[in-house]
């Protein structure tokens, strides 16, 4: 029986009709594989382009942020410098006030008259701040 089945089933290696069908299938599969590989390369190329664009955007954002940080740092250093000057001026004015108070105390002792020497805290303003009123025509030359 095994020999009967072999005789009735076509042998694709020997039959030219089946060989051409097999060759056609191989050719179609090869074309399909090439097209799939081409699509894959194009997809990877697009992904690479997208990543390059993202890197460019991120570098630009990073540069902007770095500029902002530098600007804020410069302003901070400038403010620190101004604060140092103001602290030095406040210290100098406090020392002058102490010196003037000691002069007034000496005058009081020498003259024998009681002077009203107010206890002045250099950090408190004795009178309320008045707003300064200005108009645009004040600055005309």
- Which stretches within the chain are classed as H helix? 2-8, 16-111
Share of the chain above pLDDT 90, in %: 50
Q: Per-residue pLDDT tens for 88-114?
A: 999 999 899 889 888 888 888 888 887
- Global pTM reads 0.51
- Burial code (b: 16+ CB inside 10 Å, e: under 16) for 70-81 equals eeeeeeeeeeee
C-alpha distances (whole Å) from 15 to each of 12, 22, 93 are 5, 11, 115
Candidate from 7-16, 31-40, 78-87, 126-135 with smallest mean pLDDT: 126-135
| CB-based contacts of 13, cutoff 8 Å, min separation 6 | 19
Cβ count near 21 (within 10 Å): 12
């Amino acid at each position: 029986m095994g020999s009967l089945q072999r005789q009735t089933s076509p042998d694709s290696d020997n039959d030219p009709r089946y060989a051409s069908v097999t060759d056609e299938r191989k050719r179609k599969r090869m074309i399909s594989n090439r097209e799939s590989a081409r699509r894959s390369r194009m997809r990877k190329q697009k992904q690479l382009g997208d990543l390059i664009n993202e890197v460019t955007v991120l570098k630009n954002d990073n540069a902007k942020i770095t500029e902002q940080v530098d600007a804020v740092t410069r302003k901070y250093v400038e403010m620190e410098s101004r604060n140092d000057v103001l602290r030095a001026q406040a210290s100098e004015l406090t020392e002058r006030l102490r010196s003037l108070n000691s002069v007034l105390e000496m005058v009081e002792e020498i003259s024998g008259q009681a002077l009203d020497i107010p206890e002045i805290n250099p950090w408190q303003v004795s009178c309320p701040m008045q707003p300064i009123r200005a108009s645009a025509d004040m600055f005309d030359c």
